[in-house]
Chains A and B, each alone.
Chain A
Amino acid sequence: MKEGFRQSMSWLHTWGGLLMGWILFFVFLTGTAGYVEAELDRWMRPEKPLVAAEVAQADALALGLRFVQEKMPDARRWLVSPPGGREQPELRYFVEGYPETEGAPGKRQSGFLDPETGEKVAYRATGGGRLLYRMHYRLHYIPTTAGEWIVGFCAMVMFAALVTGVIIHARIFKDFFTFRPGTGHRNWLDAHNLLGVLSLPFHLMITYSGLLFICYLYMAPVIASEYGWGEDNRRAFTDIMFSGRPFDRNTERAAPAPLAPLGPMLAEADRIWGPGNIGFVDITRPGTVAARVRILEGTRRVSGDRAEVLFNGATGAVIDAPAVNPAPRIVSETLLALHEGLFAGPVLRWLYFLTGLVGTAMIGSGLILWTKKRRARLEGRLGFALVERLNVATVCGLPTAVAAYLWANRLVPVDIAGRAAWEANVMFLTWAALAVHAALRPAARAWAEQCWIAAAAFGLVPLVNALTTDRHLGASLPAGQWELAAVDLTCLAFGLGFIVAARIAARGHQRAVQAKEVSPTVQEAAE
C-alpha cells in the first residue's frame, strides 16, 4: 500500500513536472531576472547620467508637482513619485485626463523628469527589466488574462510537484549533503534533490504566494458571490482589498475649487514617516471640491503594507485613516511581499537572486534527469527526441535569448518605431532560432554547442556595452556605480558558468561517441 502511494506520487511528480517544466523554467528564469528589475532598467537606459544627482526628495517632488500642474492643469489625476531608493530611482509622473466621451477611459501619459531642473528627459524606448518581470506571470504576445491562467495552472502543478517531490524523496535527511559528481544519472538525481531540498522553504513560499497573486483571477466566483459580477463590482473588491477603501473613479467634473496648498500636506507626511520617505503623491480630481491627495510611505516592509495619509484636496484636512488591517489581509500581504522581495537591500537581494537561480536550476535538472533515466529504454523514440530537444532549447536556449535581449537593447537603432517591442522580438527570435538548431543537431552535440553560444552571448555583453555606450565597466567601476557594473559582471559570471557547462556537455558527447564506436565492435565480437 505504501509502495503504491509513493509510486503514484512519483508518477505525478514525473509527468506533471515534465509537461509543465518548460513553462516553469521560463517563469522561474524571468522571475529571477525580476529580482534585479531595477538594476536591469538602469542598465538598459544608458542615457541616464553615470552618477545620479543628489537631490533632496522634497525639492524633486516640488518640481514634479509643478510640472504636472503647469503642463496638464485639466487632468483628473496626477501622480508624482520622487526619486528615492532602488525601486524608483527617477522622478516620474503619471497623468490621466478626463474622458472625452462618456465611458471611455481618459488619456494617460507618463514620463521621466530631470530631478534638478524639472524638465522632461527622454531615454531610449525599452521594456527594461520590467518586461522580463512581467513575462514571468503573463508570458508574452498573448493577452494578460490568458497568460495568467497558463502561469497559474503551471504554478499549481509546481506546488504539487514540490509536495510529491518531498514525499518520493524519502531520504531527505540522509542525502541532505550528498552530491556525487560524475556517476551517471545518479549525479543529476543528486543535483535535482539538493537544489530542491536546500532551498525548499523558498520554493514553497514562492510557489504558494505566486498562486495567491492570481487567485483573484481563477477564484473569481468566490469574490463574485460576495460582491457580484461585473467590472464595477470587481473594482470595488480590489479597492477594498488593496487600499482599504474605495478609490474615486468618478469621471465627472465636480464643482470647481482651488487645490489647497500641498506644502503643509507634504510636511505632515514628513512629520509621520521622517523626512524624505514619501513613495508617491496621488492627486485625484484636482481643482474640484472632490479633490483627494493621497500620500504613500516610501519604506517597504516584510509585512507588505505601506502607510498612507489621505487629505481632502479642497480643504487640506486629513481624512481619517481606514480601520486597522484585518489579520487575513496582513497574512496575504506578507506572503505577497515575501514573493516580491521589494524590501530587500543589496545582500538580501543577491540571496533572492541566488535562490531564484537555484529554483530555475532545479527545474532544469529535473527536465534533464527525465531523459538521463530513460535514455537506455527510450532512445530513438520520437517522444524522447522531442523532450531532449525541448530541453536543450529551454535550458540553454532561453538564457541565451535573455542575453540577446540585452544585446538588442544596445544594438537596435534608437529611433526606429516600436523599438521596445523589437527588443523582445529579438529575444524570442533568438529563442526560436536556437530551438531550430536544437531540433537539427544530434542532441549531445546540441548541448555543447548551445552552451558555447550561451557563454559567448553572456560573456560578450560587457564588450557590446563598451562598444556602444560609455556606461561600461571602465566607467562604472571607477565611479563606484555597482548596480550598473553588477549587470556586466553577472553576465561575465554567467558566461564563465556556461563555459564550464559546455566542457561538461562536451565530455558527455565524447562518452556518447565512444559508446557508439564501441558497440559495433561488441556486435562483431558477438558474431
Chain B
Amino acid sequence: MIVLAFFLSFAAWTALAFAMNRHRRDMGWVRATPVQRIMLRVAGGGLLAASLWACAGHWGWSMGTVAWFGVMTASALSLVLALAFRPRTRRAS
C-alpha cells in the first residue's frame, strides 16, 4: 500500500510535469495540445487523490494525511532528480 501510494503520487507528478511544454521540450517531445494539457492535469489531480486514498488505506485518515504530504515530497524529488539526471541519449537537439 505504501509503495502503491508512492508510485501513484510519482505518476501524478509525471502527468503534471508533462502537461508543461518546458518538460516536454526537454524530453524532445512535441508540444501538448490544450486538450491534452487539461487531460494530463486532471489525471495528475486524480492520481494525487488516489495516492491520498492509498495512504489512508495503510495508515488511516489522520496519519495517512500526514504521510501523504511526505510521500508527495519524496516522489516529487525523485521525479525532479530523474528528469535532471536521466540518460541523455534521447535528447533532441
B20 → chain A, closest Cβ, in Å?
7
B66 near A348: Cβ-Cβ < 8 Å: yes
B3 to chain A, nearest CB (A): 10
Contact A347 B80 (CB under 8 A): no
Q: Which of B20, B63, B70, B81 contacts A355 (CB 8 A)?
A: B70
Residue contact B63 to A302, C-beta cutoff 8 Å: yes
B-side contacts of A229, CB under 8 Å: none
Whether A351 contacts B70 by the Cβ 8 Å rule is yes
Q: Which residues of A contact B85 (CB under 8 A)?
A: 181
CB distance from A199 to the nearest CB of B (A): 4
- Chain A nearest CB, measured from B43 CB (Å): 16
Chain B residues 10 to 63 lying within 8 A of chain A, measured CB to CB, are 13, 16-17, 20, 22-23, 59, 62-63
CB of A254 within 8 Å of the partner chain: no
Most central of B16, B59, B66 by chain A CB within 10 Å: B66
Binary CB contact string for chain B from 68 to 91 against chain A (1 if under 8 A, 0 otherwise): 011111101101110111000000
**Alpha-carbon distance between A177 and B81 when the two chains are bound, in angstroms:** 9
Number of A residues with CB within 8 Å of any CB on chain B:
25
Interface pair A198/B62, CB less than 8 Å apart: no
CA distance A24 to B70 in the complex (A): 21
Contact status B70-A181, CB under 8 Å: no
Task: Tell me whether A181 and B67 are in contact (CB under 8 A).
Answer: no
CA distance A384 to B18 in the complex (A): 41
Instruction: Knowing A177-B83, A179-B80, A181-B84, say if A354 contacts B67 (CB, 8 Å).
Output: no
Nearest-Cβ distance from residue A185 to partner chain B, whole angstroms: 16
- Residues in chain A near residue B16, CB distance under 8 A: 176-177
Q: A198-B80, A351-B71, A355-B70 are in contact. Are A177 and B13 (CB under 8 A)?
A: yes
Binary per-residue interface labels of chain A (333-364) against chain B in the complex, 1 for a CB within 8 Å, 0 otherwise = 00000100001100110011011001000000
Judged by a CB distance under 8 angstroms, whether A511 is at the interface is: no
Q: Which residues of A contact B81 (CB under 8 A)?
A: 179
B74 touching A354, Cβ below 8 Å = yes
A201 on interface, CB distance cutoff 8 Å: yes
Whether a CB of chain B sits under 8 angstroms from the CB of A306 is: no
Say yes or no: is A332 at the interface (Cβ < 8 Å to chain B): no
Q: Are A348 and B74 in contact (CB under 8 A)?
A: no
> For window 169-223 of chain A, which residues contact chain B by CB distance below 8 Å?
174, 176-181, 194, 198-199, 201-202
Residue from B2, B20, B69 in contact with A201 in the complex, judged by beta carbons closer than 8 Å:
B69
Q: How far is the CA of A302 from the CA of B2 in the complex (A)?
A: 19
| Residue among A176, A199, A302 making CB contact with B73, cutoff 8 Å | A199
Give the residue of A177, A201, A351, A355 whose beta carbon is less than 8 angstroms from that of B23. Answer: A177
Most buried by A among B13, B20, B72, B84: B84
A201 vs B76: C-alpha distance in the bound complex, in angstroms? 13
Q: B62 touching A351 by the CB < 8 A rule?
A: no
Which chain A positions have C-beta within 8 A of B23? 177
Asked whether, in the complex, the Cβ of A348 is within 8 Å of the Cβ of B63, the reply is yes
Q: Point out the residues of chain A lying under 8 angstroms from B67, CB to CB.
A: 347-348, 351
Among the listed A178, A180, A301, A354, which residue makes an inter-chain contact with B70, where contact means beta carbons less than 8 Å apart?
A: A354
In contact, B77 and A198 (Cβ under 8 angstroms) = yes
B59 x A348 contact (CB < 8 A): yes
A347 close to B2 (CB less than 8 A): yes
Give Cα A177–Cα B44 distance, bound, in whole angstroms. Answer: 14
CB neighbors of B among A358-372 (8 A): 358
A14 on interface, CB distance cutoff 8 Å: no
Bound-state CA distance A466–B59 (Å) is 37
Q: Which residues of B contact A355 (CB under 8 A)?
A: 69-70, 73
In the complex, whether A57 has a CB less than 8 A from a CB of chain B is: no
CA distance A338 to B68 in the complex (A): 13
Minimum Cβ distance to chain A for residue B5 (Å): 10
> Across the two chains, which residue of chain B brings its CB closest to A354?
B74
Are the CB atoms of B70 and A202 closer together than 8 Å? yes
Instruction: Determine which residue in B17, B67, B70 has the highest number of CB atoms from chain A within 10 A of its CB, and name it.
Output: B70
Which of chain B's residues has its CB closest to A180's CB?
B84
Q: In the bound complex, do residue A338 and residue B66 qualify as a contact, i.e. CB atoms below 8 Å apart?
A: yes
Q: In the complex, what residue of chain B is closest to A201 when comparing beta carbons?
A: B69
> Is there contact, CB below 8 Å, between B73 and A198?
yes
Question: For residue A197, which residue of chain B has the nearest CB?
Answer: B76
Which chain A residue shows the least CB distance to B65? A302
Task: Pick from B66, B76, B83: contact of A198, CB below 8 A.
Answer: B76
Q: How far is the CB of A20 from chain B (nearest CB, A)?
A: 23
Which residues from 394 to 448 on chain A have a C-beta closer than 8 Å to any C-beta of chain B? none
Nearest CB on B from A469, distance (A): 33
Using Cβ atoms and an 8 Å threshold, which residues of chain B touch A179?
80-81, 83-84
A302 and B59 alpha carbons, distance in the complex (Å):
11
* Chain B residue, CB-CB nearest to A337: B66
A251 in contact (CB, < 8 A):
no
Instruction: With both chains docked as a complex, state the minimum distance between the C-beta of B27 and any C-beta of chain A, in angstroms.
Output: 12
How far apart sit A194 and B76, CA to CA, in the bound complex (Å)?
9
The reply to whether the CB of A303 lies closer than 8 angstroms to some CB of chain B is yes
What is the minimal beta-carbon distance from B12 to any residue of chain A, in angstroms? 12
Q: A302-B63, A302-B66 are known contacts; what are 8 more A-B pairs with Cβ within 8 Å?
A: A174-B22, A176-B20, A177-B79, A179-B81, A179-B83, A179-B84, A351-B73, A354-B74
> Which residues of B does A touch, CB under 8 Å?
2, 13, 16-17, 20, 22-23, 59, 62-63, 66-67, 69-74, 76-77, 79-81, 83-85
24 pairs, CB–CB < 8 Å, chain A vs chain B? A174-B20, A174-B22, A177-B13, A177-B16, A177-B20, A177-B23, A177-B76, A177-B80, A179-B81, A180-B84, A198-B73, A198-B80, A199-B69, A199-B73, A302-B63, A344-B63, A347-B2, A348-B70, A351-B67, A351-B71, A351-B73, A351-B74, A354-B73, A355-B70
